[in-house]
């Protein structure tokens, strides 16, 4: 995307649902990349920090560890 084609900060903030969706996608992709590298991922569950192993991340997000389309196997 060219610099001039990018929306301004004001335009982004005027659409909070679009901004939230973009952040959610970015967090999901970063989490998957981390798990694909074989690293555990920290999350918050029942008021505590817990570590999820990569296979738990793939199952939770219902993805194939290789990045191919379809559910985890």
Using 50, 70 and 90 to split pLDDT, how confident is the model at 67?
A: low
> For all residues of the chain together, what is the average pLDDT?
85
50: three-class secondary structure by DSSP: strand
> How far is it, in rounded angstroms, from Cα 20 to Cα 24?
6
> How far is it, in rounded angstroms, from Cα 17 to Cα 15?
6
**Residue 58: how many other CB atoms lie within 10 Å:** 20
Residue 56 has pLDDT above 50, yes or no: yes
pTM of the model: 0.68
Terminal Cα-to-Cα distance of the chain (whole angstroms)? 35
58 contacts 52 by C-beta, under 8 angstroms: no
Domain map of the chain by residue range? 10-61
To which residue do tokens 């918050």 refer? 44
């Amino acid at each position: 995307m060219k610099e001039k084609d990018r929306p301004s900060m004001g335009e982004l903030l005027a659409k909070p649902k679009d901004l939230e969706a973009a952040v959610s996608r970015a967090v999901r992709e970063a989490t998957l990349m981390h798990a694909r590298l074989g690293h555990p991922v920290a999350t918050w569950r029942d008021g505590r920090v817990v570590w999820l192993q990569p296979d738990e991340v793939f199952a939770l997000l219902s993805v194939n560890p290789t990045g191919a389309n379809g559910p985890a196997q």
